[in-house]
Amino acid sequence: MTHAYLIIAHNEFGLLKKLINLLDCNSNGIYIHIDKKNENFNFAEFEKITKKANLVFVPRVEVSWSGFSQVQSELSLIKEAVKKEYDYYHLISGSDLPLKSNEFIDDFFEKNRGKEFILFEEIEPYIYKRVRYYHFLREFLFKYKKGQFLRFLNEVSIIPQILLGINRIKRNGLEIKKGSQWFSITHSLAKFICENEKYIYKNFKYTSCADEMFLQTLVHNSKFKNSVVNDNCRHIDWTRGRPYIFRKEDYQSLINSDKLWARKFSEKIDKEIVENIYKTLLC
């Protein structure tokens, strides 16, 4: 069984090196998107890290939190990876680490071949506002020092849309769904996403936090919804943080977790937990 790891990274490059080393095996392809805002990233430093896995850096976009550029970075990764037909495609961040060996992960997906691991979450009423109206300034809200003023303008821009009865959900006949950005999907679904790139742009380009809705909505309104397991196999702690950054005292709970990967780590916050997991899985 073959796996494509689709990695979105913008910092923590020491951690990224360890992540790549842990994923370096013959059955894996590693595809990395580096945020275009990072102008000094040393690609040459990474090109010779892998000894077995195929390592590819994909075309970059400047990513803004909650902007459509997050979706664009995902699409860049998927479109490059589907050129080689992998059994599964796993979207993770450069701040993630596996909790199981490559052999364990391979065996898990062999046993669950054909299933789509996508986390769906309950939609609160306010979520519909994100896609019902056009958020033309969303890409710039956290980019400039005057972001607070831009956020005010973005909210003001919704008022005339309400008065005009703008409703993108009703117009496009969508049944909106929401969930986690991170996923593990089959080649068939990855290819389906690429085939529906225009659909994704049309319905989500000016959506707030589109990365949490475009995949779930696309899948739910397709035949793939019958193959979904409502679990993305990621250990993420939202009770202690947004998300919580794991520390050394979390080691046992992480290693004993039934999840396959964990998010989030930072060598600046706690390097020991990173080293402990790295040494456990590397040997």
Q: What was the pLDDT predicted at 66?
A: 84
CA distance 150 to 138: 9
Amino acid residing at 38? N
Q: What is the pLDDT of residues 215-252, one digit of tens each?
A: 999 999 999 999 999 999 999 999 999 999 999 999 99
Residue ranges and CATH numbers for the domains of the chain are: 3-124+177-282 (3.90.550), 127-172 (no CATH)
Question: How much is the pTM?
Answer: 0.94
The pLDDT confidence band at residue 264, using thresholds 50, 70 and 90, is very high
Q: What was the pLDDT predicted at 212?
A: 96
CA distance 60 to 57: 8
Q: What was the pLDDT predicted at 19?
A: 98
Q: What angle do CA 158, 155, 215 make, to 5 degrees?
A: 75
Q: What was the pLDDT predicted at 137?
A: 83
Neighbours of 181 (CB within 10 A): 22
Cis peptide before 243 (omega within 30 of 0): yes
CA distance 184 to 165: 38
Q: What was the pLDDT predicted at 171?
A: 77
Average pLDDT over residues 85-91: 98
Q: Tokens for 119?
A: 């986390």
Q: What is the pLDDT of residues 94-106, one digit of tens each?
A: 999 999 999 999 9
The answer to whether 14 and 266 have CB atoms below 8 angstroms apart is no
Q: What is the pLDDT of residues 16-65, one digit of tens each?
A: 999 999 999 999 999 999 999 988 899 999 988 999 999 999 999 999 88
Q: What was the pLDDT predicted at 32?
A: 98
Q: What was the pLDDT predicted at 209?
A: 93
Q: What is the pLDDT of residues 246-263, one digit of tens each?
A: 999 999 999 999 999 999
Q: What was the pLDDT predicted at 228?
A: 98
